[in-house]
């Protein structure tokens, strides 16, 4: 029998044999262990650093600490021999030379500059220029149209009605409570407000008299009254501003505009309007 015929039955036997068990089972995945210290959430771990230091026995792998070397200190004194009888034979002298002069009083130190609110820089809106007609939104004269004279050092605005037109005198107003309009007057020729500043509006505080028996209910708070000097300044300023309005091309219309009150009807919103 040839070699080919002899190998054929052997190959058939191999084909009839079942596959081995190792070939049937799939390869098992590697098990990944959970670390002892893991994140519990929000960056908080189960064990602290010091706890893990002892768990891992890291102290065993730490080398011995070298002993600190003490630096030699420079001597501050020196011993000198002294001759003569009854002198002790030696003296301890300091090596540090001290000053020969000591001031009787400490030098006056410059105080630190205080960042007071009154010294802060003031910022005024670009639309608030001298001569602009404003609408007051708060205070006793709210709703009135006034003329802006200038911005004071305190950041407040100096305005006036004028008084003869709508009854608003010279006042200070914060820029938050003001709407600037596009109407503007040329008040370069007006000079009546140049000497007016924040000190101009200070009131004289008189000392209260001692209360006696029977005066508790009889005394009343005095109402504010404008001084004669302020009344004179108001009349002078009103005369100059009225002259400027009359020279304007729409003078009659401006008098009516300043004397009428500002108001909103239904479905009117200031942020959608152009003034």
**pLDDT reported for residue 215:** 58
Q: How many domains does the chain have?
A: 1
CATH of the domain at 193: 2.30.30.30
Q: What is the pLDDT of residue 2?
A: 43
Residue 143 belongs to some domain of the structure: yes
In a domain, 181, yes or no: yes
Residue 242 lies inside a defined structural domain of this protein: no
Please check whether residue 28 lies inside any domain of the structure: no
Residue 134 pLDDT: 95
Give residue 52's pLDDT. Answer: 92
- Write the pLDDT tens digit of every residue in 231-261: 999 999 999 999 999 999 998 999 999 999 9
Nearest to 171 by CA among 163, 162, 160: 160
Judge whether 131 lies within some domain: yes
Is residue 195 a part of any domain in this protein?
yes
Q: Is residue 144 part of a domain?
A: yes
| Residue ranges of the chain with per-residue pLDDT less than 50 | 1-15, 20
Q: Write out the residue range of the structural domain in which residue 193 sits.
A: 116-201+251-263
What is the predicted pLDDT for the residue at 36?
84
Residue 174 lies in a domain: yes
What pLDDT score does 208 carry? 67
pLDDT of residue 262: 92
Whole-angstrom Cα distance, residue 8 to residue 5? 5
Longest dimension (CA), the chain: 154
Distance, in Å, from the CA atom of 174 to the CA atom of 177, rounded to the nearest integer, reads: 6
Q: How far apart are CA 64 and CA 61, in angstroms?
A: 10
Q: 75-106: per-residue pLDDT in tens?
A: 999 999 988 888 888 999 998 888 787 888 88
């Amino acid at each position: 029998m040839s070699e080919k015929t002899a190998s054929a039955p052997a190959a058939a036997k191999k084909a009839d044999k079942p596959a081995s068990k190792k070939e049937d089972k799939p390869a098992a995945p590697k098990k990944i262990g959970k670390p002892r210290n893991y994140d519990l959430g929000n960056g908080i771990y189960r064990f602290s650093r010091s706890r893990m230091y002892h768990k891992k026995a890291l102290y065993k792998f730490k080398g011995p600490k070298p002993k600190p070397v003490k630096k030699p200190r420079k001597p501050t004194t020196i011993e000198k021999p002294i001759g003569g009888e009854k002198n002790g034979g030696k003296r301890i002298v300091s090596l540090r030379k001290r000053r020969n002069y000591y001031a009787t009083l400490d030098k006056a130190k410059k105080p630190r500059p205080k960042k007071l609110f009154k010294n802060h820089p003031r910022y005024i809106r670009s639309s608030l220029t001298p001569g602009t007609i404003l609408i007051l939104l708060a205070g006793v004269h709210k709703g009135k149209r006034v003329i802006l004279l200038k911005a004071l050092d305190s950041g407040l605005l100096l305005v006036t009605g004028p008084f003869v037109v709508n009854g608003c005198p010279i006042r200070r107003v914060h820029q938050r409570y003001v709407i600037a309009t596009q109407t503007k007057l040329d008040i370069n020729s007006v000079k009546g407000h140049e000497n007016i500043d924040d000190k101009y509006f200070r009131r004289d505080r008189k000392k209260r008299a001692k209360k006696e028996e029977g005066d508790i209910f009889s005394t009343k708070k005095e109402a504010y009254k404008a001084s004669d000097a302020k009344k004179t300044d108001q009349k002078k300023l009103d005369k100059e501003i009225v002259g400027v309005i009359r020279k304007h091309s729409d003078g009659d219309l401006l008098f009516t505009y300043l004397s009428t009150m500002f108001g909103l009807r239904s479905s009117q919103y200031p942020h959608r309007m152009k003034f």
